[in-house]
Amino acid sequence: MNFPTTPFPSEISAEDIVSTMSAFKGWEDRYRQVIQWGKKLPKMPDELKAEEVVVAGCESQVWLQSRYEDGKWYFCADSDARIVRGLIALVMAAYNEKSAEEIQSFDINGYFEKLGLIEHLSASRGNGLKAIIETIQATVSKN
């Protein structure tokens, strides 16, 4: 399996994202920024886009792979939708290269509340985002 070693730029942290997003006044600027972060998300290699790694509950196609190594979780995810790739980038900033304890203790709802995004997402996008988060949390709690 050709799992990317750095599936998301580690220099982009959840704290950086909150700081950047809080500087924007309107939803349009936040939306554009989320799409920009999505562009920084490396493309998932096609050989990793298997049917068994499709996240159920997402309107768009979302693939999510994980790897556990040296006490840390690494995720590789992709989507066929630009805004969803951006939302994945936000989740990766919070969860990638973290221990199971760090992932489980991270206040993901508070994080997205600070970003001011959830109320602007369609119900299906919000449900898809929740499905991605739940898949990651279920994965890390199994190990």
Annotated catalytic residue 76? no
Q: Which two tokens stand for residue 113?
A: 């509340």
Measured between its terminal Cα atoms, the distance across the chain in Å is 20
Q: Which of 17, 44, 58, 129 is catalytic?
A: 58
| Contact of 15 with 21, CB cutoff 8 Å | no
What's the number of CA atoms in the CB half-sphere (13 Å) around residue 90? 31
Q: Which two tokens stand for residue 76?
A: 């590789």
For residue 99, count other CB atoms closer than 10 A to its CB. 14
CA 3/CA 18 separation, integer angstroms: 28
Per DSSP, the three-state class of 121 is coil
Show which residues are catalytic. 58
